[in-house]
Protein backbone atom coordinates (compact mmCIF):
# COMPACT_ATOMS: atom_id res chain seq x y z
CA UNK A 1 0.00 0.00 0.00
CA UNK A 2 1.42 3.35 -0.99
CA UNK A 3 2.23 5.71 1.84
CA UNK A 4 0.22 8.90 1.75
CA UNK A 5 1.91 12.19 2.56
CA UNK A 6 0.53 14.48 5.23
CA UNK A 7 -0.20 17.16 2.64
CA UNK A 8 -2.20 14.75 0.45
CA UNK A 9 -4.05 13.45 3.49
CA UNK A 10 -4.92 16.97 4.65
CA UNK A 11 -5.95 18.09 1.16
CA UNK A 12 -8.26 15.09 0.72
CA UNK A 13 -9.93 15.54 4.09
CA UNK A 14 -10.23 19.30 3.78
CA UNK A 15 -12.18 18.83 0.58
CA UNK A 16 -14.43 16.37 2.42
CA UNK A 17 -14.87 18.73 5.35
CA UNK A 18 -15.66 21.66 3.07
CA UNK A 19 -18.35 19.65 1.30
CA UNK A 20 -20.01 18.71 4.60
CA UNK A 21 -19.41 21.56 6.99
CA UNK A 22 -21.49 24.66 7.51
CA UNK A 23 -18.42 26.61 8.55
CA UNK A 24 -16.15 28.49 6.12
CA UNK A 25 -13.36 26.57 4.40
CA UNK A 26 -10.55 28.37 6.23
CA UNK A 27 -12.10 27.72 9.63
CA UNK A 28 -12.63 24.03 8.82
CA UNK A 29 -9.04 23.78 7.59
CA UNK A 30 -7.70 25.36 10.76
CA UNK A 31 -9.74 23.05 12.98
CA UNK A 32 -8.67 19.98 11.03
CA UNK A 33 -4.98 20.92 11.06
CA UNK A 34 -5.11 21.56 14.80
CA UNK A 35 -6.62 18.10 15.34
CA UNK A 36 -4.07 16.45 13.02
CA UNK A 37 -1.16 18.11 14.84
CA UNK A 38 -2.56 17.11 18.22
CA UNK A 39 -2.92 13.50 17.02
CA UNK A 40 0.60 13.46 15.54
CA UNK A 41 2.09 14.86 18.76
CA UNK A 42 0.61 12.10 20.91
CA UNK A 43 2.93 9.26 21.87
CA UNK A 44 1.82 5.68 21.45
CA UNK A 45 1.36 5.37 25.23
CA UNK A 46 -0.92 8.43 25.23
CA UNK A 47 -2.95 7.01 22.35
CA UNK A 48 -3.30 3.71 24.18
CA UNK A 49 -4.32 5.51 27.37
CA UNK A 50 -6.91 7.54 25.47
CA UNK A 51 -8.35 4.40 23.84
CA UNK A 52 -8.50 2.66 27.22
CA UNK A 53 -10.33 5.63 28.76
CA UNK A 54 -12.81 5.51 25.86
CA UNK A 55 -13.42 1.78 26.39
CA UNK A 56 -13.90 2.25 30.14
CA UNK A 57 -16.40 5.06 29.59
CA UNK A 58 -18.25 2.91 27.03
CA UNK A 59 -18.39 -0.03 29.45
CA UNK A 60 -19.74 2.17 32.26
CA UNK A 61 -22.46 3.58 30.01
CA UNK A 62 -23.41 0.08 28.88
CA UNK A 63 -23.61 -1.22 32.44
CA UNK A 64 -25.74 1.72 33.57
CA UNK A 65 -28.06 1.35 30.55
CA UNK A 66 -28.48 -2.34 31.34
CA UNK A 67 -29.32 -1.64 34.98
CA UNK A 68 -31.79 1.09 33.98
CA UNK A 69 -33.46 -1.18 31.41
CA UNK A 70 -33.87 -3.94 33.98
CA UNK A 71 -35.31 -1.50 36.54
CA UNK A 72 -37.70 0.03 33.99
CA UNK A 73 -39.09 -3.44 33.30
CA UNK A 74 -41.00 -3.30 36.61
CA UNK A 75 -42.34 0.25 36.27
CA UNK A 76 -46.07 0.62 35.62
CA UNK A 77 -46.99 2.84 32.69
CA UNK A 78 -50.25 4.16 31.33
CA UNK A 79 -51.89 1.82 28.80
CA UNK A 80 -50.61 2.35 25.28
CA UNK A 81 -47.75 4.56 26.40
CA UNK A 82 -44.80 4.98 24.04
CA UNK A 83 -42.55 4.99 27.10
CA UNK A 84 -43.90 1.57 28.03
CA UNK A 85 -43.06 0.18 24.60
CA UNK A 86 -39.55 1.65 24.71
CA UNK A 87 -38.92 0.38 28.24
CA UNK A 88 -40.05 -3.12 27.31
CA UNK A 89 -37.88 -3.11 24.19
CA UNK A 90 -34.88 -2.03 26.28
CA UNK A 91 -35.60 -4.74 28.84
CA UNK A 92 -35.70 -7.40 26.11
CA UNK A 93 -32.47 -6.04 24.65
CA UNK A 94 -30.84 -6.16 28.09
CA UNK A 95 -31.34 -9.92 28.28
CA UNK A 96 -29.25 -10.47 25.13
CA UNK A 97 -25.50 -10.29 24.71
CA UNK A 98 -25.51 -7.32 22.33
CA UNK A 99 -24.37 -3.88 23.51
CA UNK A 100 -26.79 -0.98 23.58
CA UNK A 101 -26.53 1.60 20.82
CA UNK A 102 -25.77 5.19 21.85
CA UNK A 103 -29.40 6.07 21.12
CA UNK A 104 -30.64 3.25 23.38
CA UNK A 105 -28.34 4.49 26.16
CA UNK A 106 -29.89 7.96 25.79
CA UNK A 107 -33.44 6.54 25.78
CA UNK A 108 -32.72 4.55 28.96
CA UNK A 109 -31.38 7.69 30.66
CA UNK A 110 -34.35 9.76 29.48
CA UNK A 111 -36.85 7.20 30.76
CA UNK A 112 -34.96 6.94 34.05
CA UNK A 113 -35.24 10.70 34.45
CA UNK A 114 -38.94 10.73 33.55
CA UNK A 115 -39.78 7.94 36.00
CA UNK A 116 -37.20 8.94 38.62
CA UNK A 117 -39.73 8.70 41.46
CA UNK A 118 -40.22 4.99 40.74
CA UNK A 119 -36.57 3.98 40.36
CA UNK A 120 -33.66 3.63 42.80
CA UNK A 121 -31.76 6.91 43.18
CA UNK A 122 -28.47 5.48 41.87
CA UNK A 123 -30.07 4.81 38.46
CA UNK A 124 -31.42 8.32 37.94
CA UNK A 125 -29.24 10.80 36.01
CA UNK A 126 -28.13 13.89 37.89
CA UNK A 127 -29.97 16.17 35.46
CA UNK A 128 -32.46 15.89 32.59
CA UNK A 129 -31.14 14.47 29.35
CA UNK A 130 -31.21 16.99 26.47
CA UNK A 131 -34.42 18.87 27.03
CA UNK A 132 -36.61 16.18 28.57
CA UNK A 133 -39.25 17.37 30.97
Per-residue pLDDT of the chain (133 residues; tens, 9 = 90+): 455 677 777 777 777 666 665 666 677 677 778 877 877 777 788 878 888 888 888 889 999 999 999 999 989 999 988 999 999 999 999 988 889 998 999 999 999 999 999 999 999 888 877 655 4
CA gap 115, 132 in Å, rounded? 12
Burial tier of 103 (Cβ tally within 10 Å: 0-12, 13-18, 19+): exposed
CA gap 114, 111 in Å, rounded? 5
Residue-level pLDDT at 133? 46
Q: Calculate the alpha carbon distances from 31 to 3, 23, 38 in Å.
A: 24, 10, 11
DSSP 123: G
CA gap 131, 106 in Å, rounded? 12
Compute the C-alpha angle 97/114/106, nearest 5°.
40
CA gap 17, 2 in Å, rounded? 23
Amino acid sequence: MAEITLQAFVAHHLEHIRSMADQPYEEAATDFLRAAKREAAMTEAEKTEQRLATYVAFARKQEMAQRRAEALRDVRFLPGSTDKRQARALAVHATGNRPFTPRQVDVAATLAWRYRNRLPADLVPAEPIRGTA
